[in-house]
Amino acid sequence: MTFGFAPSSAASLSTSAASATRLLEPAEWAAAGIPLLRNPREVVSGLHARHHPGPATAVVAVLDPDDRLRASASFVRRPAPADGWMFRNALLAQLRRVIPHDLRRRTPVRTAVLLYCREGDGRWTEEDGAWMWGLRDACTLHGLRCGAYITLTRDGWQVLGEGRGGRRPNADSPPEPFATAVAPPPQPRTGGVASEVLRRAAAR
């Protein structure tokens, strides 16, 4: 004989209420002092070219103080109710996998941003609010600054809370060639004695 307990309706309501508090409204996000991206389209295009995200795919990336990409990871969201705590754990696991934490620093110097590809349009949803809560909490636990939250839909991309966005890339567009999605490296200097020595050595 097997004994068990069915969850009471009060417990279910309590769980549901807790999940509802683990999200951030747009006004709360805007008031959190999230640093602006210098070139959001470059960041979005670079992540799109690297990870080719489809619907329900999250891409978390870490940027240095000059907004250059240092690490990134992508994963597909499990089919479950949106919950900031679950999203926080998933993001934290990815961050721990791709980059060391900065918890020993007094103030964070690197910033984590999140690109989430989903159905629908660019308007805020409760799912977005749960991702925002999860990103902010994961950053705190990994010693990072909490950066932008970006949605990618069939309509294009949108940096929520900033009002900046574009039509390409979008959820249906093919990724740009990687070379055009990121800034080209600076050209080496030419001229001077060292260059002449190198030129002669190469000619031998």
Q: Which fold has domain 22-174?
A: Cytidine Deaminase; domain 2 (3.40.140)
- Enumerate the β-bridge partners of residue 63: 69, 111
The total of other beta-carbon atoms located within 10 Å of residue 126's CB is 14
Which residue in 176, 145, 200 sits closest to 45, CA to CA? 176
- How many alpha carbons fall within 13 Å on the CB side of residue 186? 3
**Mean pLDDT score, 94-121:** 95
* pLDDT digit string, tens, across residues 61-99: 999 999 999 999 999 999 999 999 999 999 999 999 999
Average pLDDT score over the chain: 83
Three-class DSSP labels, the chain: CCCCCCCCHHHHHHHHHHHHHCCCCHHHHHCCCCCCCCCHHHHHHHHHHHHCCCCCEEEEEEECCCCCEEEEEEEECCCCCCCHHHHHHHHHHHHHHHCCCCCCCCCCCCEEEEEEECCCCCCCCHHHHHHHHHHHHHHHHHCCEEEEEEEEECCEEEECCCCEEECCCCCCCCCCCHHHHCCCCCCCCCCHHHHHHHHHHHHC
The pLDDT of 151-178, averaged and rounded, is 90
Highest mean pLDDT among 18-27, 144-153, 156-165: 144-153
pLDDT band at 8 (very low <50, low <70, confident <90, very high): very low
Q: Confidence band (pLDDT; 50, 70, 90) for 155?
A: very high
- pTM listed for this prediction: 0.79
> Looking at the predicted structure, is the pLDDT value of residue 193 above 50?
no
The region of weakest confidence among 12-21, 31-40, 175-184, 185-194 is: 185-194
Nearest CA among 144, 166, 145, 146 for reference residue 156: 166
Tokens of 13: 């309501």
Residue 19 or 121, more confident: 121
pLDDT above 70 covers a percentage of the chain that reads: 76
Buried b (16+ CB within 10 A) or exposed e, 159-178: bbbbeebeeebbbeeebeee
Q: Residue 20's pLDDT band (boundaries 50, 70, 90)?
A: low
What was the pLDDT predicted at 60? 98
* pLDDT band for position 187 (cuts 50, 70, 90): very low
pLDDT band at 19 (very low <50, low <70, confident <90, very high): low
Task: Return the pLDDT at 165.
Answer: 95
